[in-house]
Amino acid sequence: MKSFFLSRLQSFRHAFRGWFYVMQTQRNVWIHGVIAVIVFILGLWLRLPPRDWAVIILTAALVFTAEFINTSIEVTLDLASPDTHPLAKIGKDVGAAAVLVSALAAILIGLLLLGPPLWLKLISLIPNS
């Protein structure tokens, strides 16, 4: 039983090491992080319902997961093909496209979930003339 828990702890250590590697080496992850914080602050201000929060959290996780997988693809291809190779380039481009698709989906979801309540909140702040 003790070895089971120790192996789980080691798995978490590996995962956090990977997380920190991505945070240290990938600028776009920081951009995604800043945007996620802004979205979360807006969501709190707008008092979004739990279902909207679930979608926002899942969407943010999707974008970060795509970034992590893309970084994994890039470093693996750099190891396997240190010289420029057309297939390695395609692999990297496809990984980047996955991040783009997830980021575009996140933007659309953000607009759909935050747009209407944000619009109503902003309209309510304008004094009647």
Give this prediction's pTM: 0.88
CA distance 27 to 113: 27
CA distance 38 to 44: 10
Q: Helix (H, G, I), strand (E, B), or coil: what is residue 128?
A: coil
List of residues 6+ apart from 79 with CB closer than 8 A:
none
Model confidence over 16-75: pLDDT tens digits?
Answer: 999 999 999 999 999 999 999 999 999 999 999 999 999 999 999 999 999 999 999 999
Catalytic positions, written as ranges: 67
Give the mean pLDDT of 102-128. 94
Specify the number of domains making up the chain: 1
Q: What is the CATH number of the domain that holds 48?
A: 1.10.287.3610
Between the alpha carbon of residue 8 and those of residues 18, 20, 29, the distances in Å are: 15, 18, 26
Q: Is residue 94 part of a domain?
A: yes
Give the residue numbers spanning the domain of 54: 35-114
Q: Is residue 29 part of a domain?
A: no
C-alpha atoms less than 13 angstroms from C-alpha of 99 in its C-beta half-sphere: 20
Model confidence over 77-106: pLDDT tens digits?
Answer: 999 999 999 999 999 999 999 999 999 999
Q: Is residue 85 part of a domain?
A: yes
Q: Is residue 129 part of a domain?
A: no
